[in-house]
Amino acid sequence: MKLTQAGSPRSPLRGVPQAYRYALDPTPAQERRLRSHVGAARYAWNWGLARMKARYAAEKKWYSAEDLHRLWNAEKKRNPELAWWSENSKCVYQEAFRNLDRALEDFSKSKKGLRKGRRLGFPRSKKKGRCRDSCRFSTGVMRCSGSTVTLPRLGTIRTHESTEALAGKIAEGKARILSATVSRTAQRWFVSFTVEVEREIPDHHRRPQTAVGIDLGIASLITAVDHRGRVIRFPGPKPLRAALGRLRRAARAHSRKKTGSANRRKSARRLARIHARIANLRLDAVHKATTWLAARYEAVVVEDLNVVGMLRNRRLARSRPVLRDRAAPARLQDRLARRTAAAGRAVLPQLQDVLWLRDSESQGWPSAPSAVRAAAWSSTGT
């Protein structure tokens, strides 16, 4: 990691990747087409995975995403049972093969110890109702205007909120859409645009020579100590603990419904909405905390919390609802890294980065290294 002191207050415009997510309001006919597209993506994944397994058993080799696409083009013309493929955009099949190729590559790297994080298993088949419904578009007409979005083969779909923030930047030539991902969560459909936005990246923070060390815990979402020694606490919500009663009642009611009945589907939707609300409350707290920290400090040192290991401890069984409410260290670090990197700042997530910060005082960054070092070491608990 390299940090520099810039001479000018601003750098030239740069293309920065950014995501814009909107909730869709489709008509019944449009929702059927949405379900058809995500089903086609799921079918393409399973079809490609079966071909991958067959080739590996015979030749000990994998197909690439391009190879799978060529095989698919030949198969869909030869097999009359695949006549339905033309009802959906070609992108959903191509992107499914690319996702499968990426999943196998990550599995291989994880198996060889070349990938950080937990060890990944071999990709599994996707089953309707047991996997996340999503598909991605990378080519074709993708635009937004007012309270509508336009997607390939799906046409114009209304949104629950205005898209003018993105549409205005596209009209001014300051942004371009790279891809669009459609997904379904708790019976609600969303579209997420991956956009390259021209933005002025500051060469240095508006509050230079400031630093903060943060610790993710159980009693509080974040406990932070800044370069002045000030202790800052973000209590954060505990949505799981608050919703446990509703979750229990909804789960019990769902278990009593007859399998395959309309009432069971209705109760499943109710249960999914409760889980979605819990996830949204957690994400909202993370967004607000990371935005506040990124706006006020130039360097941020993050201490992780091994929530997975704590959940495996049977002595903490009664605290598990609280632990799950705090089970967002990786998500918080990811959000914080994006916000700080987009503004020319640094996130120091590991102990070796803190040691680097201590050694960098000889290079003159920052000018008050003792205060920064105190904040950094306080965040690691060393």
Each residue of 251-300: pLDDT tens digit?
Answer: 999 999 999 999 999 999 999 999 999 989 988 888 888 888 888 888 88
Contact 25, 159 (CB under 8 A): yes
Q: What integer is the mean pLDDT of 17-23? A: 93
Q: How far apart are CA 214 and CA 354, in angstroms?
A: 12
Pairing of strands 188-202, 175-185: antiparallel
Q: How far apart are CA 149 and CA 159, in angstroms?
A: 7
| Whole-number Cα distances in Å, 218 to 49, 222, 234, 307, 327 | 40, 9, 11, 9, 9
The pLDDT tens digits of the residues spanning 185-235 come to 998 999 999 999 987 777 777 788 888 888 877 677 888 888 888 999 988
User: pLDDT-based confidence at 331, cuts 50/70/90?
Assistant: low
The pLDDT tens digits of the residues spanning 168-184 come to 999 999 999 999 999 99
Q: How far apart are CA 36 and CA 32, in angstroms?
A: 6
The pLDDT tens digits of the residues spanning 125-159 come to 999 988 999 999 999 999 999 999 999 999 999 99
Contact 51, 68 (CB under 8 A): yes
pTM confidence score: 0.79
Q: How far apart are CA 136 and CA 177, in angstroms?
A: 13
Contact 44, 97 (CB under 8 A): yes
Q: What integer is the mean pLDDT of 351-361? A: 38
Q: Find the radius of gyration of the CA atoms of the chain.
A: 24
pLDDT at 4 over 80: no
Amino acid at 259: T
pLDDT at 347 over 90: no
Overall residue count recorded for the chain in this entry: 382
Contact 224, 231 (CB under 8 A): yes
**CB pairs under 8 A, 24+ apart, for 137-142?**
137/89, 137/91, 137/92, 137/95, 137/179, 137/180, 137/181, 137/182, 138/91, 138/94, 138/95, 138/178, 138/179, 139/91, 140/89, 140/91, 142/177, 142/179, 142/180, 142/193
